[in-house]
Structures are given as structure tokens and as C-alpha cells.
């Protein structure tokens, strides 16, 4: 029963932290992460990452990525395909290059430096969306481009992280031959296409005819967990199965029903445990010596996304102010980067020596992004849209 008490402590703490985070204009995910730091080895040492915490955390990240897939608006991707592609691709390329070079400067091993670049390539626009809504500019060409680019960014980063795990020497990657592994992964993505095109719509229609309670939600979760298991089994990350299942469900008529119910399950129990579990591993030992590195990597993280979005928008024909607004909207790393850090830690691609530093870089960039987005937005829309 000890875990029940720990779970209650986590849920109470994250709820309170989420409330006060919102009151002070800070993303709730930051509050939940700070709870993990407070309760874990860097703070009160009340919660330890035991097997139940890890299992709940793994379910949490799968549900989080499933929801991210459902929320990926492919119509936006189609509407703003050209600027979205440019912004997303350059917004991945710049962080990967600068992150890898920055890691090398501070003598971080090459594979870990490259993985740092992948962490910095992640974008979480949930925070940017709140700012765009607040400023009443979400339906402008810049706001729509930010949203469209985020869809492409999510898909590409999840794919690259998952596919690169084996090549970077992840400790939990498959031991089978590279040829067999590649064939399995190609077959997996063919299966994903079939699921999105025909499988999910058929299964959702079928689940509506079942007499069991919550049959639509149950079938969608079975699909999500099955695809996560298969992805993990063939050497990909489990989150890629969850994400693309979410994309498939998102194209069906029951997407809103599934999203509403899975959010209730996920955010009530599993997702808070995931964010807390990340904070549990953070320690302040040796961070004083890494302070300069953290500052430089944070600057690189901000500049890389800003430049990627800027040049991508310029290629699409945007003016300078609009391009800076788009770039600033892509800076926030949020939960996407935290997920990638955790995956790297589990695969021993992020060492304990740098784990806490990477988390702090994500925190600092996530906290900085709303202020930069507001600044560049007001440069354009001060008189036209803002209230």
C-alpha cells in the first residue's frame, strides 16, 4: 500500500503546483517538474523511481504522445505545407548542428552531443498557443504557420529519435541484425499508413456497435498500447507507436470523444507521474561547475530555433518581423523535449552527469519562449489585433 500513499502525494502536489503555475503565468508542466525535484533526490527524498513509478510514468508518456497525435491538425499542415515544412526542417537542422557542436565544445561524448541536438530540436507549441490566443493572433498567417510547422516538427523529431536509437548505441535497442531491423521498421510504417487510411476508421465504426461500456475508448487504447508495444519490440521507441495511433484516431469521427476521455485518464493519474519522475532524477551535485555550460546551451537552444524559424519563414516569403515571430513561437521545448530526455536516459544515451543540466536547459528555454513571442508579436500586431 506504500505506493498508494506515494501516488496520493504526487497527485496532490502536482495539482497544487499546476494551479499556482497557471496563476503566475508559468506552464503547468514546469510546476509538475519542480514537484519531482522537490520530492526526489535533490529535495525531500520522499519519492524514489521504483518499478511502479516507472511503469505509471511509461503509461503516462504513451498517453501523452497518443494525445499529441490526436491533436495534430493535418488540415493545418496541408494549408500551410510550404512554410510549415521550411520552418520545421530548418528548426530541426539548426538545433541538431548547434547542439552537437555545443556538446563537443564541453567535451560531451559525440553520441550524447548528437542526442542533445535531437533534444533541442523538439518543439512544444502548447505554451505558444496560449500566448497566441491571449494576443488574439492565432488565426494570422504567422500563428497558423507556427501550428502547421509544429505538426511537421513533432512527426519528424519523433521519427528521427526513434530511428536513431539503434545507431547511437542505445542499451535497450534490439540485438538482431540491421537488415532485419530495417525491414521490420519499414513494415511497421506501412502498417501505420494502413492504420491511418483504413484501419482506425473501420475499428472505430466497429467499436461503436459493441454493447460494452466505453467500447470506443477501450478499442482506441488497445490500438495505442498495441502499436507502442510493437514499435518497442522492433527497436523503435514506444512513443512513435502511440503518436501515430493518435494521428490515425485523430482522422476519425470519434476523435473528440477519445481525446476527452483519454485526457481525463491521462492527466488525472499517469501524466503527472511522468513529469514528476523526470524531476526525481535531477540532482544539484556538480551543477555549479556546469553553470557556464548550461548558460551557453540555453543560448544555443534559443538561437537555434529562432534562426531555424526565421530562415524557414524567409524562404516562404515572410517579412523580417513575421519571420522572427514564427521563430520565437517555435522556441518552447516543454513536454516534447522532456519526453526525449527521458527516453535517452532510459536508453543510456543521456548520462547521469549531464541529465540535470539538460533538464535545466529545457526549463530555461520553455520559460523564456512566451516573453520572446509576445515581444515579436507586438512588433507586428500592436495596433491591429492586440487588446
Instruction: State pLDDT tens for residues 9-49.
Output: 999 999 999 899 888 877 788 888 899 999 998 889 999 88
- Percent of the chain residues past pLDDT 70, beyond the cut: 95
- CB contact at 8 A, 313 and 87: yes
pLDDT number for residue 228: 93
Judged on CB neighbours under 10 Å (0-12, 13-18, 19+), 281 is buried
Grid cell at residue 17: 503546483
- CATH fold of 2-381 reads Na+/H+ antiporter like fold (1.20.1530)
* Chain segment 80-117, per-residue pLDDT in tens: 788 989 999 999 999 999 999 999 999 999 999 999 99
Q: Where do the H-state alpha helices sit in 106-140?
A: 110-121, 126-134
- CB contact at 8 A, 270 and 59: yes
pLDDT number for residue 387: 44
User: In whole angstroms, what is the distance from residue 237 CA to residue 186 CA?
Assistant: 14
Q: What is the mean pLDDT of the chain?
A: 88
CA atoms within 13 A on the CB side of 185: 22
- 136 vs 166, more confident: 136
Q: Where do the H-state alpha helices sit in the chain?
A: 2-23, 28-39, 51-71, 74-79, 81-105, 110-121, 126-134, 141-167, 178-194, 200-209, 215-233, 238-250, 255-265, 271-280, 291-315, 320-329, 334-346, 352-381
pLDDT number for residue 385: 46
- 260 vs 240, more confident: 260
* Chain segment 167-223, per-residue pLDDT in tens: 776 655 555 566 677 788 889 989 998 998 899 999 999 998 898 889 999 999 999
* Chain segment 332-357, per-residue pLDDT in tens: 888 889 999 998 998 889 999 999 99
**CB atoms inside a 10 Å sphere around CB 124:** 26
Q: Is-above-0.75 flag for pTM?
A: yes
* Chain segment 292-331, per-residue pLDDT in tens: 999 999 999 999 999 999 999 999 999 999 999 999 999 9
Amino acid at each position: 500500500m506504500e505506493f498508494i500513499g506515494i501516488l496520493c502525494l504526487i497527485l496532490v502536489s502536482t495539482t497544487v503546483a499546476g494551479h499556482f503555475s497557471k496563476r503566475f503565468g508559468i506552464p503547468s508542466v514546469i510546476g509538475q517538474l519542480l514537484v519531482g525535484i522537490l520530492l526526489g533526490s535533490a529535495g525531500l527524498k520522499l519519492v524514489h523511481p521504483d518499478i511502479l513509478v516507472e511503469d505509471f510514468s511509461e503509461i503516462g508518456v504513451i498517453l501523452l504522445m497518443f494525445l499529441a497525435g490526436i491533436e495534430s491538425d493535418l488540415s493545418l499542415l496541408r494549408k500551410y505545407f510550404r512554410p510549415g515544412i521550411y520552418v520545421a526542417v530548418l528548426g530541426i537542422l539548426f538545433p541538431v548542428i548547434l547542439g552537437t557542436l555545443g556538446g563537443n565544445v564541453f567535451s560531451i561524448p559525440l553520441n550524447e552531443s548528437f542526442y542533445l541536438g535531437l533534444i533541442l530540436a523538439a518543439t512544444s507549441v502548447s505554451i505558444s498557443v496560449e500566448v497566441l490566443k491571449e494576443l488574439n493572433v492565432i488565426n494570422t498567417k504567422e500563428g497558423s504557420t507556427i501550428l502547421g510547422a509544429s505538426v511537421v516538427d513533432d512527426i519528424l523529431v519523433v521519427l528521427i529519435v526513434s530511428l536513431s536509437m539503434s545507431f547511437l548505441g542505445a542499451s535497450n535497442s534490439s540485438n538482431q541484425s540491421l537488415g532485419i531491423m530495417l525491414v521490420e521498421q519499414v513494415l511497421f510504417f506501412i502498417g501505420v499508413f494502413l492504420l491511418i487510411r483504413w484501419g482506425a476508421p473501420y475499428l472505430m465504426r466497429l467499436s461503436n456497435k459493441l454493447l460494452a461500456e466505453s467500447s470506443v475508448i477501450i478499442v482506441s487504447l488497445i490500438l495505442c498500447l498495441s502499436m507502442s508495444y510493437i514499435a518497442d519490440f522492433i527497436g523503435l521507441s514506444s512513443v512513435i507507436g502511440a503518436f501515430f495511433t493518435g494521428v490515425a484516431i485523430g482522422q476519425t469521427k470519434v476523435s473528440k470523444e477519445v481525446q476527452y476521455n483519454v485526457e481525463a485518464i491521462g492527466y488525472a493519474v499517469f501524466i503527472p507521474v511522468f513529469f514528476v519522475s523526470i524531476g526525481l532524477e535531477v540532482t544539484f551535485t556538480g551543477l555549479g561547475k556546469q553553470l557556464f555550460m548550461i548558460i551557453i546551451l540555453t543560448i544555443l537552444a534559443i538561437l537555434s530555433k529562432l534562426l531555424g524559424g526565421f530562415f524557414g519563414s524567409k524562404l516562404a516569403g515572410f517579412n523580417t518581423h513575421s519571420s522572427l515571430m514564427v521563430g520565437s513561437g517555435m522556441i518552447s521545448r516543454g513536454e516534447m523535449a522532456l519526453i526525449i530526455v527521458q527516453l535517452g536516459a532510459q536508453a543510456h544515451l543521456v548520462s547521469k552527469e549531464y541529465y540535470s543540466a539538460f533538464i535545466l536547459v529545457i526549463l530555461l528555454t520553455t520559460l523564456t519562449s512566451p516573453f520572446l513571442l509576445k515581444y515579436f508579436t507586438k512588433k507586428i500586431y500592436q495596433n491591429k489585433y492586440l487588446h
